[in-house]
Copies of this chain bind each other. A is one copy, B any other.
Amino acid sequence: MALLSPSRRLRRTPFSDGVEAAGVKAYTVYNHMLLPTVFRSVQEDYHHLKQAVQVWDVACERQIELRGPDAGRLVQLMTPRDLRSMLPGQCFYLPIVDETGGMLNDPVAVKLAEDRWWISIADSDLLYWVKGLAYGYRLDVLVDEPDVSPLAVQGPRSDDLMAAVFGDQVRDIRFFRFAHLDFQGHDLVVARSGYSKQGGFEIYVEGEQIGMPLWNALMEAGQSMDVRAGCPNLIERIEGGLLSYGNDMTDDNTPHECGLGKFCNTQTAIGCIGRDALLRVAKEGPVKQIRAIQIDGPAVPGCDRWWPLKHGEKTVGRVSSAAWSPDFQTNVAIGMVRMTHWDAGTELTVETIDGPRQALVHETFWA
């Protein structure tokens, strides 16, 4: 691995001091911000995440705040998910599409009130799209990036750790709901959500001031629970089929190709910019789609580019994320496969950077 040159452009977070003190070994860059990727090792972090509890600096999940009478209309403009049933207090995972139905981002939207939303974004400057639309449509809405930095608590012991800091009321927060909880006199949005399948919470920390006090309070309260600094884990997220924008999908892909059809109500999402483009694919289905891919042999190298999936001489897809899974004792991967070869059990060849490997379309993701 090469080194990452520090600069102000790769923004630090309110939790960076804690991350460094915990011995972070590697980063990625996400929304122009540092996102830790490794503390002890990807495998060691993986085992710990599945057994205990971790605190994650995911400040890079930047927020776009929409305020004003047209806020709800603007969110509906951007997504084929029908938002009419969404209540304040709910979080919705939203495919965001352009006028061609291509994915621009896949955020979690937090509806704070009828006229106030946070959109917690994946790695693209969705702010520019939202501002461009708001201005072009002359909507009555304020759009900006507030200074809000999510801190995630993930792992099977998340409820216990959060209860130790915020009280037992956190246990009552349902999946993809949020509550306002107090920490040292600050009112914080706390949602049951996060980028793992191990359960947990995301705390929306406003401003710089209480970042490290909150980090330290969680670390202290969690000593008996073996709490550690952690981060989204490559192996665990592939096992769980959690997609990564920019890796597994780009603006070339429709939500349906990404297996996100269940988050699309294209018929009823009146106002959605991509609706016309998506109506046909919503009815007939896509011709290629995300699949779980099992890759034979020893641990694959790092997947830093798309690996072609072949059937004989014919390219029928690509692998975009891959890692050795200690728990399943195979290489787990995420790929996009053409419909002619996407049935479970189809045997394919994947061309890794270290040469070809046998691969199999797996029925489901692993966890």
Contact = CB atoms under 8 A, between A and B. Distances in A.
A330 interface: no
A298 interface: no
Contacts of A26: 2-5
Contact of A38 (B5, B27, B37, B304): B5
A12 B304 contact: yes
Interface string A103-134: 01000000000000000000111111111110
Nearest to A24: B2
A247 B9 contact: yes
Interface centre among A12, A99, A136, A137 (most CB of B within 10 A): A136
A210 interface: no
A135 B273 contact: yes
A244 B37 CA distance: 26
Contact of A7 (B3, B28, B131, B136): B28
Interface in A301-328: 302-306, 320-321
Interface in A77-96: none
A247 B124 contact: no
Contact of A136 (B37, B124, B136): B136
Interface residues of A, number: 49
Nearest to A129: B128
A98 interface: yes
A285 to B, nearest CB: 25
A132 B125 contact: no
- Main SS of chain A's interface residues? loop
Interface centre among A2, A12, A24, A247 (most CB of B within 10 A): A2
A5 B231 CA distance: 13
B129 A321 contact: no
Nearest to A303: B8
Interface string A219-249: 0000000000000000000000000111100
A188 interface: no
A180 interface: no
Contacts of A306: 8
A32 interface: yes
Given A3-B3, A26-B3, A9 B125 contact: no
A252 B364 CA distance: 46
Contact of A246 (B8, B131, B137, B304): B8
A83 to B, nearest CB: 19
Contact of A3 (B2, B29, B98, B104): B2
Nearest to A145: B251
Contact of A133 (B6, B104, B136): B136
A10 interface: yes
A10 B1 CA distance: 13
A244 B9 CA distance: 8
Interface of A: 1-10, 12, 24-29, 32, 37-38, 98-99, 104, 123-133, 135-137, 244-247, 273, 302-306, 320-321
7 tightest A-B CB contacts, nearest first: A136-B136, A132-B132, A9-B246, A125-B125, A6-B304, A128-B128, A29-B29
28 contacts: A2-B3, A2-B25, A2-B26, A2-B27, A4-B29, A5-B27, A6-B304, A7-B28, A7-B244, A7-B304, A8-B305, A8-B306, A8-B321, A9-B245, A10-B28, A10-B29, A29-B29, A32-B124, A99-B135, A104-B128, A125-B125, A127-B128, A128-B129, A129-B129, A132-B132, A132-B133, A135-B136, A136-B137
